[in-house]
Each structure stands twice: as structure tokens, then as C-alpha cells.
Structure 1
Amino acid sequence: MKQISTKITAFILIAIFLIACNAEKRVPEGKKLLTKNKIIVNGKSITDENVFTQLYQKSNSTLLGYRLRLNLYNLANLNPDSTYQAKFTNHPGKYERKSKWLSAKQVDRLGQSFWYKGIHEFLKKTGEPPVIIDSTKTLKTLQRLKYYYFNNGYFNIQASSTLDSIKPKRGAINYTITTGPAYLLDSIKTTISTPALDSLYTTNQVNTLLKKGQQYKTIDFDEEKNRITTHFRNNGVYYFQPTYVTFDIDTINKVNQAAVNLIINDYSYQDKDSTKTAPFKIYKISDVNIFTDYAPNTNHQKITDSITYKNFNLYSRNKLKYKPQAITDGIFITKGSLFADSKTVLTTRYLNNLKIFTYPSIQYEVDKRDSTNTSLIAKVYLTPRKKYSFGASFDVTHSNIQDIGIAFSPQLTIRNVFNGAETLSISGRGNIGSSKDLANPNNQFFNVSEYGVDLKLNFPRILMPFSTEKIIPKSMIPSTLMAVGFARQTNIGLDKENFTGSFSYNWTPKKNNTARFDLFNAQFVRNLNKKNYFNVYSSSYDALNTIGKTYNTNDTYFNNLTDKDLIIETGTKGFTSDVLNDLTALTSTDTDYKSVKSIEERRVRLTENDFILATSFSFSKTTKTDLQDNTFYLFRTKIESAGSLLSLVSNAAKLPKNADGNYELFNLEYSEYIKTEFDYIKHWDLTKEKVLAVRTFFGIAIPFGNSDNVPFSRSYFSGGSNDNRAWQAYSLGPGSSGATNDFNEANMKISLSGEFRFKILGDLKGALFADAGNIWNVYDNVTDEASVFSGFKSLKDLALGSGFGLRYDLSFFVIRFDFGFKTYNPANESGKKWFQEYNFANTVLNFGINYPF
């Protein structure tokens, strides 16, 4: 009986699938489903996406050739309310019977439930109705195609369409276009009525977008209008607009050539009931008035305080709360200069960047005091934000360390702290989390906790004892940031206290470029629970314990004489000391002796307190214009030097060195290294919501002088949801060593990633990806050949992971699941590096927020 019911269920599911796969299910009689559009231009079939966007009708979307959304739509009941009511109409008395054990109200609501109605609404919304061939839309498409080619210089176009009947209810449309030869620009002349504009145009004529001999394109003419308008409005022509630029195109008695006459008429304005014209005027700024506490949407604007500072007039309804320079530094509109849109934009950007005002408003009015009517008064309206503002965030997070974390972050912002537009931010953070990768002897779910506080004071200028205007002008919107912070981690490995302090300068050399110079960035990390080392780094303990069972002769180091496991910490410490002091059978040439020495060196390195005093410079450049831009690149680089200044001072002062030959500061060896990074991201929009994204990264940190290794906090790791997704974080490398440690890190990293993103249906997106990369040790105290980068031959240790991902777009962020498969594992023995773990049993599931790059 069970087998029969299973077969019946399978038969029903197959029948439903087959019905849904009937693409013509909802195509009316006498109509045809559009299956394909074919565009033939001058005898050749084309696939240019720019041409296909002209179509009024496109066939239903497909996923790998399958019309998934159309078939989902065909599964839906388009009139679920009528179907539900028909159940009772066709079976009299059924409604009354149901109402006896369900109320009438509940029976009615049942028809609105997900099973009866909601599922069909979902299928309709997610699905896609069939595209029915419409002759009217076909004619509109022909006209649109003609316009497209006409706008690209083909003035003698012939276009037609034919319908191919593939099946009784299916059809394809063929569009045939004959363009003829393209028209080229011939002579280009100008007719500019206002002499001042004619002269102004000549000064920038070399940058014209219209060149003799180039193919006619309407877009070039539109962009030339905008270019001329920008040039004029940045040179005092206040009333100029693109509509004043027109073109006379002459193709009469010319063979595939067009003569162009660029025409700019005089200024046109309304005087009572008549329209008059006059030559354009070039305007200068006669006054700059700044209203520092403007109250919008109110008539109460009485001025009670004012001051004139460097030709700027500052007004306030109450007592002026700002140092004049703090405001005027951000005003690029100056008295006596020409009106310029660019200065208006730059002023707005600067003032908005202060974050002490709402978005500023800048208006101009003709100065009636000037009899020539060629002067403008600039009025800058500033509405202050509240001096104090409080905010808080509550987040559920996922990271490389925490499987799940719950964080709470309150923040207090104080604006205009010293009346110089400064901003002080005081923020706290508290976090509890769970991590299966950390030592957890009590088996607690929340085994990670952290709390901390940060203070950041921002000055909207470069704080230097000398002027930096010639090096970093105020047009680059410079700022100075002072920051101090404290954080304490408990129940997370060794437990740490982290003290930080920094003094940095920020500026934007050009639009979409950012630069940062950290004059100093200090960090002190203190480990609070060093005795917990071998509980955290269990692989190191296992390796040491295995050697101890063979060579340890001190029974007090064992937990018992049966298991012979080294006691943490007395046993591990004692046995290591015996080995390194030659109190066991091991000698310095033995492999196990070297292993114990290596384990101890790593323990000392990861448990010692770190002090880092670094100076760094960072630069980034991007071509991304907005969140919808899918064709852009992003370049970031950073160079950091740590400890060099301290060594210079120590050497000059002839300070003594410790037993290891290193300088100390407060009885602590400070770190000394140089580090550099390069990060490049490129996106290509392949249209139809398909994007190809590529990322390359290279980083290296070289210890020297006072250090023979790089601090853990400044080293690199590989693997994780934003790196090589076929490996978990810290579980790849170094080199071909096989990730023998619990948290594997090194001081050099190479990473390359590629990802093809595409739409599946609705807000659900998919991706295919490949990640290559690894970490290595170089120029430090690690001697293991498998972990060390020794030239180009080490590139054979680049690990390769590939896989697929699912992403759901929630508008404000993207939820991401990536499934990574180890494609090439350099840690495997020769002959078993490729595809040995390429299966779902060894897949790595990554959860992330937003795209990996």
C-alpha cells in the first residue's frame, strides 16, 4: 500500500510539473507566445545589447534556457477567490457544514489563507506572464530601431519585420534593418550672438566633442551642449542653460556628410507680457552672506549678531556660535570672483562634510546696487544640527571568529565642541558571541564576550604648526582625526586588553579619491590569560603531547600514568624546558627536538604582549558613481612603517639592549616592520542583471631591526567568507604546510577572486565563483620549507577553490550563502592535489552580509 501511495504522489507531482511546463497554457486562441526576437542589420544577425534595449517586446526570461518564471506563473491560479467560492456553489450545504465546526468568519478567512490564495499570489508575483506577440508593439519597435540608427548617423534607413510561426501558439519576430552608409561631420562653424560668449567659447574650443570626419551621433551633440554650459557657467554666465545651444545640420547636396553650425542666441527673458532678448552678461560676486543658524519654514529670521571676516558676512539670529574661520574655510565663493557652478558644488560638499549642518542651501540674487546689473549676492543658508545626539544599534553578526554574535553599540555625538565645527564622538560597544573554534571547557554557548569604548575628535582642517594650503588646499576637504580606544575580550582564547590611539589626516585629492596619513597609530595588546594557550591552540598541544608521551621522564608532568597526557600548563611548560635544556633523550639535530622548539617559539610569539607604533599612508581611487553602478574599478594601497622612529631614538640615545639584542620600551620589546598592500577590484556590467567581478590582492609585512616576526594583529590569514571560500578562516596555508596550527597566519598574502553574478528570479540572485590564493612566511623566523615563499616556484602552492552562491537582496543589504569546494589543495600529496575533495561532504558553507567584494 505504501508503494502504491508513493507512486500516486510521484505521478501527481509529475503531472503538475508537466502542466506547468506547458508554456502556451495561458496563451489565448489565435495569439502567439513570443519565443525569440532576431535583429538583422545589413544582412547580419546581431546581438548588441544596446540595440536589443530598443525592443518594446522581449521574450520571457530564461534560466539556463528554461523559462522558469513563466512556468511558475502558469502554476498559479489567477482567480483563487472565485475557485474557493465555487467549492461551495457546486456543493450546496458544504458551507453550512464547515461553519458548524469553524465559524462562518473563519471559513471566509480560510479563503484568504496562504494555501488557498497566498501561494497563488506568490507565484504570480514571482513568475512572469506570457509575452504575447502584439503587432502594435512590433510597429513601435520598428520606429524605435529607426530612431536608434538615425541618432547614430544613418539617415537613409529601411526597416521591416516578419513573423515566423514556430508552432500554432508560438512565434518569433525578425527585424530587418538596412542602414546605408553613415554620415560624417564635415565643416563645423559657430554663430554666437553675444561677443563675450564668443570669446569665452574660443578659449575652450580645443575640447569640443564635435570633430570633422567623425561619425554623426546625437549623443555627441547633447554632451557638447552640456560641455559648453559647464564652461560658461563656471566663468560667470549665470543665466546660461543648455537650451540656448542649438545646431543647424545641413546635408543638402552632400554625399554622406553633414555640415554643422553651432548656434548660441542672446539671452531671452520675460518683461511683463512680452519676451525680450539681450546679450548675455558675465557676473561677479559682490557679497557673500552666510546665515549660520537659518531656520527653514519659519518667518522668524531676525538677525541679532553679525561679523565681517575676510570679505565674508556672517549673520546669526542668536549669538554667533562659530569661529568665523571654521565656516569661511568651507566657502569657495569669494567676493570679486566670477560666478561659478563648480564653486557652489564644492562649497556644498565641504559644508555638508562638516556634519554639523543639515544639507546647505546656496542661492544667488542680482545686486540691485550695481547699475550695470552684472553683480550677484551669494547667500549661504546653514541650518545647524542638534549639538547633542544619541544613537544606538543592536546587531546580530557573523565573522571569521564568531559563528554568531550579539552586539550593542551606543554612541553620543557632540558637535561644534570648541566652536570651530569640531565633532566629538563617544561610543561604547558590548558583544557576546559563540564560537566552536575557541577553547570552551565549560561547554557554554556564549563563550565570547567583549566590551570597549572609543573617543574620536574630528577637526575640519589640517592641524599643523605651519600652513599646508599649498600642499593640501582646502578644496580637498581636509580633516584631522584624533582617536583613543580601549577594548577587553574575555573568554576568547588568551583574553586580551587592547589600547589604541591615533592621529591622522584625511583629504580627497580628487573626486572619488581619498587619502589618509596616520602620523602615528599606536596599539598595545596585553594578554591576560597566557596559561590558556594550549587550550586554545589544541593542535600545538596535540603535537607536543605526542612527543611528550615518548620522551618525557618526569611523571609529575602527566595527568596520570595511564593516559600520559601533559598537564596544561605545568606539564607542557616543564617538558618544553627539559627538551630545550637537553634534559631529555632528544638532541638538537632530532626532528622532534626541532618541533618542540618551533612550538615554543610560536607560543612565546602569540602570548607575548605587543606594542606597535606605526606611521602609514593609504590611498584609494574608484570610478563608482552610485550604488547602481556595475561597471567600475576600485584601487586601494597602503604602506605602513612601525618601530623605526623608536629604534632611531634608541640608537641615538645609545640605550641598552636586552639579552636578545633588542631595544625595550617600558620593559617591552616593540615591533618593527614595514608593510605594504595593494587591492584592486573591477566590475563589468554584462547587462540583463549579469555582472562579472574580479579582485586581486597582494600584501607583505617584513620584520627587521627590533623584530624577527610580525605581530599577530598585523599578519595575514587566508580562507573565510570574504576570501578563499573553499577553506574556513585561518585554515589555509601557510604554503603547502597543510594548516597544522589552529589559527594559521603569515606575513605575505596573494589572493585572486572572480565571480559571475546573475539573476535567478525576483530578488534572488546566484553566483559562480573561483578563488585562488595563499599565505606564506618570508624574511621572518619561520624556517619550515613548506611554509616559506622561496620565489616563483612557490606559486604552485596557490590554492584554488570554486563553487556557487545564493544571494537575497533586501535592498538595504544582501544576505549571502556561498558553497565552496576545494578544487586544488596544495597541502595534498603529489598526484592528489586536484579535485580530491570536490564533493558536498567536504564543502564549506559561508554565510555573509553583502557581496564579498
Structure 2
Amino acid sequence: MNISNSYIRQFLVFASLGLAVSCSNTKYLKEGQMLYTGAEVNIKGDSLSKSDKKNLKSELEANLTPKPNSTFLGLRPKLFFYNIAKEPKKEKGFNYWLKYKLGEKPVLLGDVDREFNKDIIENYSENKGYFNAKATYDTLSKNKKAKVIYNVKPGARYLISQVKFQKDSTLINSEIQKLTEKTLLKVGEPFDLDVIKAERERIDNGLKQRGFYYFSGDNIIVQADSTVAKNHKVELNVKLKDNTPDLATEQFSIDKVVVFPSYNIRDARIGKYSVPMNSDSLGKYAYNDIYVIDPEHKFKPKIFDRALYFKKGDLYNRADHNLTLNRLISLGVFKFVKNEFIVSDSLQHKFDAYYLLTPRPIQSLRLEALGRTNSANYAGSEVNLNWTHRNFFKGAEQFKASVYGAFDVQMGGPENAKNLFRAGTNVQLSIPRIVAPFRFNSSSAFVPRTNITLGYEFQNRTEYYTLNTFSGSFGYVWKENARKEHDLKVIDITYVTPANVTPLYDSISAKSDAMRRVVQKQLIFGPTYSYTYTNTMLQKPSTIYYKGTLDLAGNLTGLLTGANAKEGKEKSIFGVPFSQYAKIENDFRFYHKFNEKTSLATRFIGGIAYPYGNSDNIPFSKQFFSGGSNSIRAFRARTLGPGSFDPRTIQEGYYFDQSGDIKLELNAEYRANIYKFLNVALFADAGNIWLVNEDSQRPGAKFSKDFMKEIAVGAGFGLRLDFSILILRLDLAMPLRVPYYPKNDRWMFDKINFGDPSWRKDNLILNIAIGYPF
């Protein structure tokens, strides 16, 4: 890449100017003001190990206030923007945004309460077991900048010498004694107030599991005595507080379970739900051990019998309490779920459990219309009409039906790529239980579901062909917990039949087996299974997402019929050869949040589809594709690969739909928020697709030991407009490595020329999409 000396000089001038200006922030300070540059904690004494000193130092510094102005490469750009911006007259406009949104008010030494920080240091040290910690501070200043040095002498850390759980004859004490084996308070470990708080929560959770509904962790006191032991030891005594309420020490069981499935708070205010809670008045609402107050019979009572884990006579426990609420919500038919426990017999320690359920609208109709464009030079529109019934057979079954139509029009690029029109319908019935000849028990907080789907799509590619696609599936979805989900389709069927294949397409595809397979009849059936694990919902700096999919088509049928296409023993069902293959795909993503505004997102995709038995090739609809707005963005959709095959050699009139049996892809994206809804990203993508078998019509397409030399690489810059209801994404990418160029000329760095309009047209790819790519 050739860069003129004038550009280099201009860059150095601007960089030097930026450095000088950024370093001059102190000139904006008033007389006597000093810019606070931060604090440092020094641990004095030899009683701590090197690692203990390091940990205590970082923990203490994290608790000090205020934090100094943020820095970047030693500079304070936010402070600079604050200083150069004029004071705005209104709380809006460019000056206000520059000064108070992009900029940052200076943190002065006068803002630092050094005595307060000193007390924080001593108190925190004591909470960590350094009972004799003493702190002092000193201020260092130079050139209108100041930092504060805190010197801490923590002394020796006190260790736990004994842990006692005070005993008495009460019921609650006997239950506490059963919990002592897994105590977090260990002899020989340092005294730590955070561990003591966690122990109180552990005891509280344990008692909640044993029927003590009204108990609280605040009822526990942990007494520390450092006077009875020598050599910096401390004894801990765990006991109930003397003022613990009597109700908190009583163990409660369930009397009646009452469900109001059509609860509305406005109706409750006028007494509509004031039903006498006695057996005679509730008798007509009884179903097994629960009472369902549903005079209009909107819901079948058995759905609550499955969802509710509390039964009459059960001892209260927190796990079943939360499990029941989560299962009621996961039914998908209730907007709000409220739970109340009311004491019915104080002498017998019983209470009634009430479930007040506010239904969502049972039916909804939604119309969606959207416009789109993609990197294959297509622009188009799509309209979807969706109808949902959330209680189809009065058992919280969800029935969804949709009708859609879409068209994509060629707006330039390859000639004769032809326009595309699609229309179709889909219906799905989702039943909130496993419908099977076997019994399926789940203690998950999520209701398992049986899904039945049917679909049809009409696809017309102008002047080429028409395809009719029929599909159907039957399977199950269940979640072990919030992180793990299983999706098993026992049978997944797709039948594709062509119509109106034009002579033009016949002539174009005469020399291309891949093109001919697109318009062949296809019958694909078999089970599919996917497993998803994610912890991205957790508030952690680093999270992951993984989805693995296994697709087996025609395996048992091919085995029983002895199908072998390679030996000329291809088998058919109703005159249509069925597909036989095994396909596996893995999608792994890693997210790391540096702070509230910056993060790194990465993704790896690896998959292979292997045809055998009754098939020599993978059906086109089941193959892998590369390029486009959610893949390698520097290449137009479906134009990359397979392997080092050069798509420019394709005869005129062939639209770019390159597919493969193997896929490897790696993506990385640095994301940053710069202002409210405006986000930016820097990204790099690498990967390709390959064929399992040799294709004489596409040289270089087969996967080989040299696959690393056929990896495509692209990079770019993106804008993301986050409007809450949707994220509009614009990614501008360019290729850095092109796998179908000559082997020694595939890297593009020496060819980059932003000043050449022809180069920009061929190499800068704009992707416009909705949502993040991964």
C-alpha cells in the first residue's frame, strides 16, 4: 500500500497537535484548583504475603472515591472535550452533547474527602480480618495536578480458631444444626465479613427449604470474640437473635391451593374474587388437590395440576415456590403471576397458597412490513401476517399461523441474476407438555413443549424456474434450566418439487450439475437435534453461547432398503429419490465486556455435511453458504467459495449461489457506544466453505490439507443505530485476502487504493441489516 509523504506529515501534525492540546487540560483550572489524578494505596509491614498485599491493595483502591477523570493512552480526551466546549444555554444541542455527554467534568483535589477515604480503608481492612489496621495519607502535587497516597499498616490477619452453632431445644435450632455440615465458616480461614453475610444467606435459604417461610437472614447473628484466643485468632458463635419474631421460628405446611386464572386487579378491588375459603364453597372448583376458580371455564384445570408443585399437606419450601412461579410464566398465556400465602391455621402452622394469574390477550394479530437490501445487490420487501392463539384447546396450547410474501429485485451487479418472489404459509401448534407413549418427568422451571409444524412456500425466480416446498415436523423442546435447552425433532420432512423450469435455465445449467440439482425433486426426512448452552443473561464480564446441531436424513430407510447411489442402487419413495446424509454444525460465541460502553464479541462456526448411501450430494437447501451481512461481510452473499474456486469463471446468466459441504468461519468484533443510540464497531471475518467430493466443474472446491491457504479474510467498520425496538446495522467491509486469486497473490494490502473509484466499487461492500451479526 503506497501512502504519500504528505499524508504521513499531516497525520504526524494532527497527532502532535492532539497530544499537546490533550495535555493542556490544567490551563482551564481556576486559581488554587488542582486536577485530581488518582490515589495509590501502599501496604506497610511484613505480616502479609506478597499475594495478600496485592489483593488487599487492589480491593482498597477499588473502594476509594471519587474516581479520577478517565484516561486513554495517558491522555484525558473526555476532559479535553469538556474544557473546549462552551457552556450551553439549554440542555440540548451540540455544545451540550459535546460538554456533558462526550465530555467529562474535571475531578478536582477539592472533591476528595481524604478523611472519609481513610475511614473506608480502616473499616474495610477490619471487615477482612485486619482488626488493628491503621491508615495515614499524604498528598503529592505538581503542575496543578495532585494524587493522594494512603499508607496502611494492617497488622496480622485474624484467623478463625473455632465455630460454634449455639444449641437449644427449639425446632428451628434443630433444623439449623442439620445445616452446619456445609458451613462456609471454616477453622483456619481468615475472618471475612462477606463470608459471614454469605453464611447467613445460606442458613436462610436452608430454612426456607424446610418450611420456615417467614424467616429472614437478619434473624441470625454471628458473634466474633478475639479475646479468648491468642496469636491473632477469633472464635465465632452463630445463634438466633433474641428478638426473632415467633412467626419466623414456625414451620409451615400447605393447606389449600387456590388458583384464579383470570385475575384482574380492578375486579379484585370490587370484590369479584372474594370467594369464601371453605371446603363447601370451593367444592365445585376442586380438581385433585387444588381449587381452580374459573367460572367461565377458560382453562382446563389439569394444566395447573402439572404446573403447581405445591399440594395439600406439603411442607413449604422455597425451591417449589420459585419453580411453580417460573412454570406458570413459561406457559406463555399469563402476563402477570402473583403468589400470596395467608395463614389459615396458626395453631397447626398452615397457610393457604393463592395464585393470582392475569392472562395475556388470548388472540393477537400482527402485521409486519419491512424493506431490505443485501450485499448481493438485491433490494426488496417482505410482508408477514401473523395470528396467535395462546389457549387453543383451553390447555395453554399456542397456535400460530402466518402468511407471508416477499420479493427481491436486482439493483445492479451481475447481469441476469434475475428477481426472486416468495410466498408461503406456516402453522405451528405448541402443546405445553411432552406428548409421547412414554412418561417424561421434568423438574425444570420451564414447561417442556411438543411442537407440530406444517409449511408451504412458493418460490419463483424470474425466467428460470418455480419451486414448491412442503415441510412438516413433530418434536419436543425442553430446558434443563435457563442456560441449557434441547430441541429434538423426531421427524422433520421437506419435499421440494419444481415447476415451470424454463428452456433458458435448462441451457444455462446443462454444464453445471450443481445448478441442475437445484430444480430436481427432493425428499428429505429424518430426525434433527440441537443443544444450546448460554450464560449471556448473567451480569458477568465474560459470557459464552454454544449451539450444536445434528441432522440425520434417510439413515434408517437407506439402511433397510440397501440404498447405494454409487453402485447404481438409488432408492425412491413415490418416485422421488430420498436424501441420505449426516450433518453436524457448531456455533460457539464468546463475549467480553471491558466496561459499560465497550465489548468484544467473537464467533466460531464449524460444520460438515456428509452424503452417503442413497445420495452423492447434499441437498442444496441443506448446504453451507458464506459471505453476506451475517457471515464474511467483505464478500457478497453466497459468492464466496467453495475452496479456491473462482466464481468469475461462471458462465453469463448464472446467479451467484455457491454452496458447500464443509464450513469454517471465525469472526471478531470490537463494539463501542459513543452516544446513546449510536454504536460503532471494528470487525474482522475469516473463513470459507468447501466440498466433500471432487467437482470437475468447480476446480479447487474440494477440502484438502491446504485448506488454510484458501481462507478468505475481510475487515471493516460498522455503525449500529439502537432504537430499542430494533437495531439498524450498517457494515462497510473490504477483502484483505481473496482465496480464488493466484496462490502468491491472495493478500490485498498492496492493492488497496481508496482514491480509485473502480477499486472502491469492486472492493467496498456495504451491508445493511437488522440486528447484530452474532
Assess same fold via TM > 0.5: yes
Is 1:852 aligned with 2:763? no
Give the structure with higher Rg (CA): 1
Partners of 1:193 and 1:279 within 8 A in 2: no
Is 1:685 aligned with 2:606? no
Is 1:478 aligned with 2:448? yes
Alpha-carbon spacing, 1:409–1:254, altered in 2? closer, same or farther (3 Å): farther
The residue correspondences of 1:72-471 to structure 2 (distance < 5 A) are 72-80=81-89, 118-126=93-101, 127-134=103-110, 136-167=112-143, 169-191=144-166, 193=168, 195-252=170-227, 253-265=229-241, 268-269=244-245, 277=246, 280-298=249-267, 299-301=271-273, 306-316=284-294, 318-368=295-345, 372-398=347-373, 404-436=379-411, 447-469=419-441
Specify the code of the residue in structure 1 equivalent to 2:573: L
Q: 1:57 aligns with which of 55, 61, 66?
A: 66
Worse-matched range after superposition: 617-626 or 52-61: 52-61
- Hey, what does 1:99 align to over in structure 2? none
| SS state at 1:359 partner | strand
Alpha-carbon spacing, 1:62–1:419, altered in 2? closer, same or farther (3 Å): same
Q: Distance in 2 between matches of 1:64 and 1:155?
A: 39
Alpha-carbon spacing, 1:808–1:474, altered in 2? closer, same or farther (3 Å): closer
Q: Distance in 2 between matches of 1:17 and 1:702?
A: 58
Partners of 1:295 and 1:301 within 8 A in 2: no
- Hey, what does 2:521 align to over in structure 1? 609
Alpha-carbon spacing, 1:180–1:609, altered in 2? closer, same or farther (3 Å): farther
Q: Distance in 2 between matches of 1:572 and 1:836?
A: 36
- Hey, what does 2:658 align to over in structure 1? 744
Q: 2:546 aligns with which of 618, 621, 635?
A: 635
Partners of 1:27 and 1:132 within 8 A in 2: no
Q: State the Cα distance separating 1:346 from its structure 2 match.
A: 1.1
What is the percentage of aligned positions where both structures have the same residue? 27
Q: Distance in 2 between matches of 1:196 and 1:636?
A: 48
Q: State the Cα distance separating 1:451 from its structure 2 match.
A: 2.7
Specify the code of the residue in structure 2 equivalent to 1:727: F
Partners of 2:467 and 2:499 within 8 A in 1: yes
| SS state at 2:296 partner | coil
Q: Distance in 1 between matches of 2:70 and 2:768?
A: 29
Is 1:525 aligned with 2:496? yes
Q: State the Cα distance separating 1:383 from its structure 2 match.
A: 2.6
Q: Distance in 1 between matches of 2:454 and 2:488?
A: 17
Q: State the Cα distance separating 1:172 from its structure 2 match.
A: 3.2
Partners of 1:267 and 1:278 within 8 A in 2: no
Unaligned 5+ segments in structure 2 are 1-12, 276-280, 651-655, 755-759
Specify the code of the residue in structure 1 equivalent to 2:685: D
Q: Distance in 2 between matches of 1:180 and 1:462?
A: 62
Q: Distance in 1 between matches of 2:719 and 2:344?
A: 61
Alpha-carbon spacing, 1:51–1:331, altered in 2? closer, same or farther (3 Å): same
Worse-matched range after superposition: 756-765 or 339-348: 756-765
Q: Distance in 1 between matches of 2:497 and 2:200?
A: 63
- Hey, what does 2:537 align to over in structure 1? 625
Is 1:24 aligned with 2:26? yes
Partners of 1:408 and 1:430 within 8 A in 2: yes
Partners of 2:219 and 2:244 within 8 A in 1: no
Alpha-carbon spacing, 1:309–1:39, altered in 2? closer, same or farther (3 Å): same
Partners of 2:643 and 2:703 within 8 A in 1: yes
Worse-matched range after superposition: 710-719 or 142-151: 142-151
Alpha-carbon spacing, 1:601–1:297, altered in 2? closer, same or farther (3 Å): same
Alpha-carbon spacing, 1:174–1:497, altered in 2? closer, same or farther (3 Å): farther
- Hey, what does 2:686 align to over in structure 1? 772
Cα deviations by residue, 1:472-492 (Å, 9 ceiling, x for unpaired)? 457652111111122233447
Partners of 1:402 and 1:433 within 8 A in 2: no
TM-score, length-scaled by structure 2: 0.84
- Hey, what does 2:278 align to over in structure 1? none
Q: Distance in 2 between matches of 1:572 and 1:395?
A: 33
Q: State the Cα distance separating 1:641 from its structure 2 match.
A: 0.6
Specify the code of the residue in structure 1 equivalent to 2:328: L
Partners of 1:488 and 1:495 within 8 A in 2: yes
Alpha-carbon spacing, 1:320–1:143, altered in 2? closer, same or farther (3 Å): same
Q: 2:555 aligns with which of 631, 644, 664?
A: 644
Alpha-carbon spacing, 1:40–1:658, altered in 2? closer, same or farther (3 Å): closer
Q: State the Cα distance separating 1:509 from its structure 2 match.
A: 1.7
Q: Distance in 2 between matches of 1:672 and 1:760?
A: 51
Specify the code of the residue in structure 2 equivalent to 1:601: D
Is 1:731 aligned with 2:639? yes
Alpha-carbon spacing, 1:60–1:736, altered in 2? closer, same or farther (3 Å): same
Q: State the Cα distance separating 1:768 from its structure 2 match.
A: 4.2
Q: State the Cα distance separating 1:817 from its structure 2 match.
A: 4.1
Q: Distance in 2 between matches of 1:666 and 1:801?
A: 46
Partners of 1:758 and 1:767 within 8 A in 2: yes
Alpha-carbon spacing, 1:356–1:797, altered in 2? closer, same or farther (3 Å): same
Partners of 2:643 and 2:739 within 8 A in 1: yes
Q: State the Cα distance separating 1:78 from its structure 2 match.
A: 0.7
Alpha-carbon spacing, 1:279–1:668, altered in 2? closer, same or farther (3 Å): closer
Cα deviations by residue, 1:626-669 (Å, 9 ceiling, x for unpaired)? 5x554222222121111224435655xx9x99995312223322
Partners of 2:337 and 2:356 within 8 A in 1: yes
| SS state at 1:360 partner | strand
- Hey, what does 1:788 align to over in structure 2? 702
Partners of 1:702 and 1:779 within 8 A in 2: no
Partners of 2:212 and 2:248 within 8 A in 1: no
Specify the code of the residue in structure 2 equivalent to 1:56: T
Unaligned 5+ segments in structure 1 are 1-10, 82-111, 270-276, 533-567, 577-598
- Hey, what does 2:602 align to over in structure 1? 694
- Hey, what does 2:4 align to over in structure 1? none
Cα deviations by residue, 1:759-806 (Å, 9 ceiling, x for unpaired)? 556554444444332222125767967322235x53443334444544
Specify the code of the residue in structure 2 equivalent to 1:777: L
Cα deviations by residue, 1:673-722 (Å, 9 ceiling, x for unpaired)? 11112222222333464433332222111111111111122111223333
Partners of 1:192 and 1:265 within 8 A in 2: no
Partners of 1:356 and 1:385 within 8 A in 2: yes
Q: State the Cα distance separating 1:746 from its structure 2 match.
A: 0.8
- Hey, what does 1:96 align to over in structure 2? none
- Hey, what does 1:797 align to over in structure 2? 710
Partners of 2:257 and 2:310 within 8 A in 1: yes
- Hey, what does 1:543 align to over in structure 2? none
- What is the root-mean-square deviation in Å for CA atoms of aligned residues? 3.7
The count of corresponding residues between Structure 1 and Structure 2 is: 728
Partners of 1:267 and 1:280 within 8 A in 2: no
Partners of 2:694 and 2:701 within 8 A in 1: no
Q: Which has the higher contact order (CA 8 A, sep 6+)?
A: 2
Is 1:505 aligned with 2:476? yes
Partners of 1:610 and 1:711 within 8 A in 2: yes
Q: State the Cα distance separating 1:31 from its structure 2 match.
A: 0.5
Partners of 2:566 and 2:616 within 8 A in 1: no
Partners of 1:294 and 1:381 within 8 A in 2: yes
Q: Distance in 1 between matches of 2:36 and 2:354?
A: 59
The residue correspondences of 1:832-851 to structure 2 (distance < 5 A) are 832-836=745-749, 839=752, 840=754, 841=760, 842-851=763-772
Q: Distance in 1 between matches of 2:360 and 2:178?
A: 43
Specify the code of the residue in structure 1 equivalent to 2:640: L
Q: Distance in 2 between matches of 1:798 and 1:325?
A: 56
